[in-house]
Amino acid sequence: MVSGYLEHAGYKVYELQHAAEIMPKCASVQMDAILLDINLAKLAVYAEKINIFAKSKHIPIIFISESEYFDINYAFDLGADDYITQPVKRAELLIKIKTHLRTAKLARQLIASEARQTAILFHSPIGIAYTDLELDVYKTNSQFLVQYGYNEDIKNLSNILSGSAVDKFSAKKQWLEQLLQQGCLECEVQTLHKNGQVNWTYLRGKLINSELPEQGLVWTLDDISERKQAEDQLKLAATVFEVSGEAMIIMDVNYMVKSINPAMQRLSGYHVAELLRYSIAELLDSSYREETLQDILALVIKDQQWQGELWLNQKNSKQVPVRVMLNSVNRPDGSISHFVALLADISEHKEQEQELKHRANHDPLTGLPNRNLFFIRLKESLTLAQRMQYHVVLMYLDLDGFKPINDTLGHGKGDEVLQLVAKKLLNCVREVDTVARLGGDEFVIILNGTSNEQVSVTAERLVNTLTLSIDDKLPLSVSIGISVFPNDTINPIKLLQYADEAMYQAKQQGKHAYCWHGESPLVS
């Protein structure tokens, strides 16, 4: 059934019979996702290798469970990114596959972008050129032009090589073979300045994207002639500081701002002159971390660098999350002359994290906590109640008459009714309580620290509130089952089971009612 759903949606599916077949198959075929309908205990032997491989390739792993009550935490420990319970619903399956594939694609794009930025920063004190696989130059930085005497008129990278045409052709062929096999190249070569002067250059080449070699190559060329090295690096560092996409702050030994680059001006909203009287402590906020900013700065002095996530105080009084790298700049004698901070805005990344976390724990239709978050909340409530010696009440709610509404008025109307019910349930309980949707027309409520009398009042309020007439012709009501911790049981699964059984007892005795576990319902 799952294969049929996926193939009908346009996916190519490979069905394997044993977990041991996964790694060999992945080695021969490029996989976009792995779905495991397999016993967890049998999978554990292979889980580590599968997980390491999948994470390295950003391949999502989705478990298909035969039961709603399988060990979710254990599944995630084995490397699952998500799970689906039997029977598999086509819409849920396709939505999860699409979401995880999109997330994996974004992750790969982010890694590629970060790799390019890292390469630019790492090689910034030297010449940089971008070429195609034939070494035709389509972009260079200013240091490259200074280093070899060109004025944006260089056509091919081999033009700077010293030697005959045969030597240049041989070098081009050898470089390309190594780059396509290994993805990178490093060597020392003799180069020719446009004015005829011969110098030595340390050459590095790298495929911009090893998966798509046609995107071209990035080259860094370091003039290792002593006379020019210091001057050239200084010029290039100044250029990179101005044009870099990474926000940069230069500070003195007292952490006072001495200069910022244009990227930092855009990120912070401040002009250079406005920040010259600021210390780094006024710009960066570490209040949510265990270590203070003073602790972080002390680590920079000790280890010469620190990196982590902080908050940047912008000029508009807002805060933005940033990834920060702090480095000390040391003189030859080891003393510190300056500090440098590199900042990258990670707002979008944080928003994506929050969105994924919300999706994993909330029902997409009603916005209520889903089964996963419900059990987390229930275990937390029971743990606290046991420590503080109070009761926790679990209510299991099932709508009466929902199926005729769905069948008569359509699923769209049914969804509207479920959303309406969710809002009414939230209005009937306190903020300290939890309302969750288990699926279909079944809801659960966790009431923390309450009494039998308060529960009865709440149950009656729920029954009355959910006594509705949909489109003035189709009746809707609710049947509620109630179980109590620790009176009925201290086991969360049993507590849910007892509430479910009490709900069915309420239905059998006429619906539109609530029933305590082991007692008769009180009909409103």
Question: Could you read off the pLDDT of 329-364 as tens digits, one per residue?
Answer: 888 888 888 898 888 888 888 888 888 888 888 999
pLDDT at 115: 74
Report strand pairing: 34-36 vs 61-65: parallel
- % of the chain surpassing 70 pLDDT: 90
Question: Residue 491 CA to chain centroid, in angstroms?
Answer: 34
Question: Residue 375 CA to chain centroid, in angstroms?
Answer: 23
One domain for residues 344 and 210: no
CATH (domain of 131): 3.30.450.20
Q: Is 255 helix (H, G, I), strand (E, B) or coil?
A: coil
Task: State the Cα–Cα distance between residues 60 and 10, nearest whole angstrom.
Answer: 18
* Chosen domain end from 118, 147, 166: 118
How confident is residue 46, by pLDDT bands cut at 50, 70 and 90? low
pLDDT over 50 at 224, yes or no: yes
Q: Is 64 helix (H, G, I), strand (E, B) or coil?
A: strand
pLDDT at 69: 59
One domain for residues 260 and 396: no
pLDDT at 481: 95
Which carries the bigger pLDDT value, residue 120 or residue 260?
260
pLDDT over 70 at 45, yes or no: no
One domain for residues 70 and 162: no
Domain extent at residue 281: 245-350
One domain for residues 484 and 390: yes
Q: Residue ranges of the alpha helices (H) in 211-292?
A: 226-243, 262-268, 272-275, 280-283
pLDDT at 121: 47
One domain for residues 223 and 260: no
Q: Which helix (H) or strand (E) holds 83?
A: strand 82-85
CB 400 within 8 A of CB 478: yes
Helix axis angle, 90-122 to 347-361, nearest 10°? 160
One domain for residues 114 and 128: no
pLDDT at 433: 94
Residue 355 belongs to some domain of the structure: no
One domain for residues 87 and 149: no
* Chosen domain end from 118, 139, 170: 118
Which of 160, 279, 132, 168 is closest to 222 using CA atoms? 160
pLDDT at 265: 87
Question: Could you read off the pLDDT of 283-330 as tens digits, one per residue?
Answer: 888 777 777 888 888 888 888 888 888 888 988 889 898 988 898 888
pLDDT at 297: 84
Mean pLDDT of 508-518: 89
Question: Could you read off the pLDDT of 97-146 as tens digits, one per residue?
Answer: 888 888 888 888 888 877 776 566 455 568 888 899 889 998 888 788 88
Tokens 């710009």, located at residue? 283
pLDDT at 237: 63
Q: Residue ranges of the alpha helices (H) in 69-155?
A: 72-77, 90-122, 142-148
pLDDT at 359: 85
- % of the chain surpassing 90 pLDDT: 26
CATH (domain of 515): 3.30.70.270
pLDDT at 299: 86
Positions marked active-site: 441
Which carries the bigger pLDDT value, residue 123 or residue 489?
489
pLDDT at 522: 33
One domain for residues 480 and 443: yes
Q: What is the pTM of this model?
A: 0.42
pLDDT at 126: 81
One domain for residues 368 and 510: yes
pLDDT over 70 at 521, yes or no: no
Which carries the bigger pLDDT value, residue 513 or residue 288?
513
